Amino acid sequence: MNLNVGILGGGSWGTTVAALVARNTSTMLWARDPATADEINSYHTNKKYLPDAKLSKKLVATADIAEAVAGKDVIVMGIPSQGFRGVLEQVKDHIRPWVPVVSLSKGLELDTRMRMTEIIEEVLPGHPAGVLTGPNLAGEIMAGYAAASVIAMADEIIVKELQKTFNSGLFRVYTNHDVVGCELGGVLKNIIAIAAGMGDGQGAGENTRSAVITRGLAEITRLGVAMGGEPQTFAGLTGMGDLVATCTSAQSRNRTVGFELGKGRSITEIINEMYMVAEGVKSAPAVMALADEYGVEMPIAAEVFEVVQERRGARRAFRGLLRTTAGAESDPG
Residues involved in catalysis: 189
Q: Which string of b and e fits 156-182 if b means at least 16 CB within 10 Å?
A: eebbebbbebbbbeebbbeebebbbbb
Query: From the centroid of its chain, how far is CA 216?
Result: 17
Q: Are strands 171-176 and 101-103 parallel, antiparallel or unpaired?
A: unpaired
Question: Which residue type is seen at 152?
Answer: A
C-alpha–C-alpha distance, residues 271 and 87, integer Å: 23
Question: Which neighbouring-strand residues pair with 171?
Answer: 147, 168
In Å, how far are 29, 41, 232 from 38, measured between CA atoms?
Answer: 11, 5, 44
Question: Which residue type is seen at 304?
Answer: V
DSSP string, 120-152: HHHHSTTS-EEEEESS--HHHHHTT--EEEEEE
C-alpha–C-alpha distance, residues 68 and 75, integer Å: 9
Give yes or no for a contact between 115 and 184, defined as CB atoms under 8 angstroms apart. Answer: yes
